A and B are shown apart, each in its own frame.
Chain A
């Protein structure tokens, strides 16, 4: 397998610590992201997948655990220069293309913000050229540079958001539900754009979504989250064919198919967390049932899953 770009170790993010309404949004999550791949992260809304993304990129300070980027810890005390370095390497694409662009700035200023902050352009002319180049990369044209965000459609705004992230030439991009606020007809365009950029620039993605079919299309590997825990992590095709964890099964059974025949016979599987019957002192953790296929299970279930795996 390729080299690891990002290692997430026992990441924890709790809110309202010490109060009765404490929430374990991310609870001891461990996984790696390899260079050049797309890792999809799925789960129902509120299961902590966005929080995972936001914690990795330091929008929240992690309650516990480590995030290693190229072997260097991202979290913990950092000098301003170190932080800036990480800011260049890691970027994020946001869910809401309407809220993520400052309505009082022109598209050129929005895209060039990263260039200005990191001093990537020596002259005004160079700066504008970079902006034009980026606009073209994401499929917009030069003329759009002097306009304001409200003049664009959702898909175009998302492209602007992508261009803004690309401006600092990052290695790793967290896409936080980048297509869920978009029209279905636009979704494919944006996803294809992201795929093309990955090929051209060798980017690594963490693709957070709840739409499984789209995630399958873009991801190399997929992680499934449930209530702050990663329950299954496997290569995309493997996950679809050999889903082990009952929650993954339930999630897969919920995908509607554009075929009336199978849709009529489709059976939803319900997931009941109490069906595991874990015992008090049983160790429940991620275990590898096949190369690259990890499931959150107990020793007993581990044997069971291994047997089931084809």
Chain B
């Protein structure tokens, strides 16, 4: 029984869900029952009228229903999921690599430049989505712009904008390690900065950087979601003046949420629910994965508290099994 409790469910569920998501991102469009341009024609079947918007599970052809214009929601999702995953991954990759590199190296400097610290602090006051809002606002509505260019533009801007916070946290960790005695010992042996960073500091940080990477993916998705609520969809926004609705060009999931925001006040809330729940699943699978990894690393290195805190992990430490030397 105890053993059942101490299994790292979070890790395994996270891995499973992430794997499914990646599968959908790759094969989604080829699995989609409809194209993005097909619409439901109003028809009369078995005594009921099928007309958009169609609620979910009423028609076999349109399993998750359609939106107001009759587009199939399931297909939109299957097309959009790859954008969500790819964009969030790309942004995270760029900002984590750049940020970690800068942070790791600056951490080994004897003194942190005051200007850099001031800049990091100032930057951390301003909500990131606001900066992006101003940068993307004028562009996203550009008519007949290539969505790929807009996606690319977002990836670049979002990465640059969020680098300072990564630099700041990696720098602090790197600094902490670089003051330890074994770094001094390596310096005396003649190790240059690259060796210090890659042989001594990075190995100590790689677990926490991995966890940070996964959590940063969630952050990027959250950022995209916040922008979507302000009608800025990644890959471009179509604004229909006549009906005053905003549409996402790429069908990126948070864009679908943003586009369906108006349905909150009507009885077609499911148009909002479906992408929102999917987004929830995406973010929680990454969170689970990160949490599971953290549990695993933490239980291995963490000291046990002396007072009852209520936050004791139930996961057992995984000890490294040493190879028997001959």
Direct contact of A and B (CB under 8 A): yes
Residues of A within 8 A of B322 (CB): 146-148
**Which of A88, A92, A100, A101 meets B190, CB within 8 Å?**
A88
| Closest A residue to B200 using CB positions | A102
A99 touches B190 (CB 8 A): no
Is A96 in contact with B181, judged by CB distance below 8 angstroms? Answer: yes
A88–B189 CA distance with the chains assembled, in angstroms? 7
| With contact pairs A84-B190, A117-B191 given, residues A94 and B325 touching in the complex (Cβ less than 8 Å) | no
Tell me whether B187 is interfacial, beta carbon within 8 Å. yes
Assuming the contacts A59-B184, A99-B182, A100-B182, asked whether A146 and B190 have C-beta atoms less than 8 A apart, the reply is no
Total interface residues in chain A, CB < 8 Å: 32
Does residue B4 face the partner (Cβ distance < 8 Å to A)?
A: no
Q: Which residue of B lies closest to A117 (CB)?
A: B190
In this complex, the interface size class of chain B, counting residues with CB under 8 Å from chain A, is 20 to 34
CB of A127 within 8 Å of the partner chain: no
Closest residue of chain B to A99 (Cβ to Cβ) is B181
CB under 8 Å from chain B, chain A span 139-190? 143, 145-148, 161, 164, 167-168
Q: Are B184 and A94 in contact (CB under 8 A)?
A: yes
Complex formed: what's the CA distance from A57 to B189 in Å?
A: 11
Residues of B within 8 A of A167 (CB): 189
Complex interface: chain B residues within 8 A of A88 (CB)? 190
Q: Are A59 and B182 in contact (CB under 8 A)?
A: no
- Chain A residues with Cβ below 8 Å from B188 are 57, 59, 87, 90-92
> Nearest CB to that of B301 among chain A residues?
A103
B185 is contacted by which of A80, A92, A104, A118 (Cβ under 8 Å)?
A92
A114-B190, A118-B190 are contacts. A161–B325 as well, Cβ < 8 Å?
A: no
User: Assuming the A-B contacts A101-B182, A145-B325, are A87 and B200 also in contact, with contact meaning beta carbons closer than 8 angstroms in the complex?
Assistant: no
Q: A99-B181, A102-B200 are in contact. Are A87 and B189 (CB under 8 A)?
A: yes
CB distance from A85 to the nearest CB of B (A): 9
Pick the residue among B184, B191, B203 that contacts A113 (CB under 8 A). B191
Chain A 224-242: CB-based contact to B (< 8 A → 1; otherwise 0): 0000000000000000000
Q: Which residues of B contact A (CB under 8 A)?
A: 180-182, 184-192, 195, 199-200, 203-204, 322-323, 325
Closest 6 CB pairs of A and B: A87-B190, A100-B181, A99-B181, A114-B189, A102-B182, A104-B203
